[in-house]
């Protein structure tokens, strides 16, 4: 646990205890409504030029926050003007790694299974009935999706912002079977929205939209955000009460670093096993259809596409893996260096190569830790 999160984790644990006892509805609402902490405009003089470059190199603009943890201790923290330790910053697709973590907790609880058909009622009577939870996590369901392309055709844009946005789950499960499950990697956000609904149905079966939203929020707080000390985390929901599990969670840079530290420490926070070690191993393992992708985390390995548009596998280290998001959101975990690097900002995806190069230089500033 980082020095920042000790107090946050203690207060969050008290909130979680009260929630379970059904005693903290008003207190919880007040806590969640509390505004973020004051925003610092300047950063102290740095002794880590490789991290400063993310702010000073024009090719890396617009970096808004960088946090570096070495063996759980903060060694660098800097913000662009107008942002600070209390600013909640958007996840974009880093939310996929949050959703994967929630799935892992439910697998550990015995409520979900990786290699049985995914519990999607709408698929039970056709070829999609054989799709497993593992294949969804690996982005290899075989269901037709269109992640990119013109906004009017992209499944993701339509479900988030346009004509199918009233119920993202219904939009996601309506897509047809296209190829046998497990045979093709196709990154798409709607797959993770299906996973998020699977989580919600496991914690609140047959719930109304409002009850589903309330139960999912409580589950996130009591089983992940609270124990991990990520007390700033807020995730969004659609009008039908579905978690935007592929796209829209918000947290401070420190709390995104705490998420990385959770995985670096093999799922343990302050002596408590929040995520099982076998789930940490699972998300880091190359998936059969794409060696550069694990269980809703990106791996520092060559991608099946042949492109270098995730991490920096040519620079190493090979054991690095990350939660990644649109416009240059990164939570990078490097076990061999006992390192977590968070970069948050707004850089157009086609302009991210200088950011990836700078992150590679920053990561490789630190030596490998002897085992």
- β partners of residue 321: 299, 333
Least confident of 12-26, 265-279, 298-312: 12-26
Q: What is the pLDDT of residue 1?
A: 59
Report the pLDDT averaged over residues 227-254: 97
Q: What is the pLDDT of residue 306?
A: 86
pLDDT of residue 38: 35
Non-local (6+) Cβ contacts of 123 within 8 A are 117, 129, 131, 173
Q: Which residue has the higher pLDDT, 363 or 1?
A: 363
**The pLDDT value given to residue 127:** 95
Please say if the pLDDT value at position 260 is more than 60: yes
Q: What is the pLDDT of residue 103?
A: 98
> Above 70 in pLDDT, residue 206?
yes
With cut-offs at 50, 70 and 90, classify the pLDDT of residue 211. very high
**Nearest in space to 198 (alpha carbons), one of 284, 285, 132, 276:** 132
Q: Report the length, in residues, of the chain.
A: 371
Query: Residue 82: how many CB atoms within 10 A of its CB?
Result: 9
Specify the pTM: 0.89
Residue 49, phi then psi, degrees to nearest 5: -55, -30
Question: What is the average per-residue pLDDT within 339-344?
Answer: 98
Give the pLDDT band of residue 343 (cuts 50, 70, 90): very high
The pLDDT value recorded for residue 131 is: 98
Angle at 248 between CA 64 and CA 259, to 5 degrees: 65
**What is the distance, to the nearest Å, from the Cα of residue 359 to the centroid of all Cα atoms in its chain?**
18
The C-alpha atoms of residue 342 and residue 253 are separated, in whole angstroms, by: 7
Token pair in block for residue 175: 């897509």
Pairing outcome for strands 339-345 and 329-334: antiparallel
The pLDDT value recorded for residue 2 is 60
The pLDDT, as a whole number, for residue 219 is 98
Sign, Cα dihedral of 100, 104, 109, 114: positive
Q: Tell me the three-class secondary structure of the chain, residue by residue.
A: CCCCHHHHHHHHHHHHHHHHHCCCHHHHHHHHHCCCCCCCCCCCCCCCHHHHHHHHCHHHCCEEEEEEEECCEEEEEEECCCCCCCCCEECHHHHHHHHHHHHHHHHHCCCCCCCCECCCHHHCCCHHHHCEHHHHHCCCCCECCCCCCCCCCCHHHHHHHCCCCCCHHHHHHCCCECCCCCCCCCCCHHHHHHHHHHHHHHHCCCCCHHHHHHHHHHHHHHHHHCCCCCCCCEECECCCCCECCCCCEEECHHHHHHHHHHHHCCCEECCEECCCHHHHHHHHCCECCECCECCCCEECCCCCCCCCCCCCCCCCCCCCEEEEECCCEEEEEEHHHCEEEEEEECCCHHHCHHHHHHHHHHHCCCCCCCC
Q: Please give the average per-residue pLDDT across 194-201, as a whole number.
A: 98
Give the model confidence (pLDDT) of 60-78 as tens digits.
Answer: 999 999 999 999 999 999 9
pLDDT computed for residue 14 by the predictor: 38
Residue-level pLDDT at 333 = 98
Tokens of 205: 């079966």
pLDDT digits (tens, 9 = 90+) for 118-156: 999 999 999 999 999 999 999 999 999 888 777 777 888
Question: What top-level class would CATH report for the domain 5-363?
Answer: alpha beta
In this prediction, residue 108 carries a pLDDT of: 98
State the average pLDDT for the chain. 89
Q: How far apart are CA 81 and CA 39, in angstroms?
A: 9
């Amino acid at each position: 646990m980082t020095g920042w999160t000790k107090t946050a984790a203690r207060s969050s644990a008290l909130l979680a205890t009260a929630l379970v006892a059904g005693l903290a509805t008003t207190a919880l609402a007040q806590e969640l409504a509390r505004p973020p902490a004051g925003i610092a405009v300047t950063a102290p003089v740095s002794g880590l030029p490789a991290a400063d470059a993310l702010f000073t190199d024009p090719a890396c603009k617009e970096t808004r926050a960088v946090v570096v943890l070495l063996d759980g201790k903060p060694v660098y923290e800097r913000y662009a003007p107008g942002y600070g330790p209390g600013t909640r910053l958007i996840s974009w697709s880093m939310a996929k790694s949050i959703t994967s973590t929630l799935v892992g907790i439910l697998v550990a609880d015995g409520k979900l299974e990786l290699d049985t058909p995914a519990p999607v009622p709408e698929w039970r009577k056709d070829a999609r009935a054989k799709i497993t939870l593992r294949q969804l996590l690996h982005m290899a369901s075989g269901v037709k999706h269109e992640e990119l392309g013109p906004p009017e055709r992209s499944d993701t844009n339509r479900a988030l912002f346009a004509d199918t946005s009233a119920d993202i789950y219904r939009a996601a499960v309506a897509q047809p079977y296209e190829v046998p499950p497990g045979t093709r990697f196709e990154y798409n956000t709607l797959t993770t929205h299906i996973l998020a609904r699977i989580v919600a149905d496991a914690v609140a079966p047959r719930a109304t939209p409002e009850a589903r939203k309330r139960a999912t929020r409580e589950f996130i707080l009591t089983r992940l955000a609270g124990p991990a000390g990520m007390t700033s985390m807020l995730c969004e929901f659609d009008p039908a009460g579905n978690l935007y599990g592929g796209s829209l969670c918000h947290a401070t840079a420190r709390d995104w670093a705490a998420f990385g530290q959770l995985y670096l420490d093999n799922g343990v926070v302050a002596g408590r096993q929040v995520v099982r070690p076998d789930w940490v191993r699972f998300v880091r393992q190359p998936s059969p259809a794409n060696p550069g992708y694990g269980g809703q985390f990106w791996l520092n390995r060559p991608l099946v596409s042949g492109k270098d548009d995730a991490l920096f596998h040519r620079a190493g280290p090979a054991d690095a893996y990350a939660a990644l998001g649109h416009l240059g959101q990164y939570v990078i975990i490097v076990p061999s260096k006992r390192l977590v690097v968070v970069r948050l900002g707004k850089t157009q995806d086609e302009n991210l190569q200088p950011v990836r190069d700078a992150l590679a230089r920053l990561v490789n500033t630190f030596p490998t830790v002897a085992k």
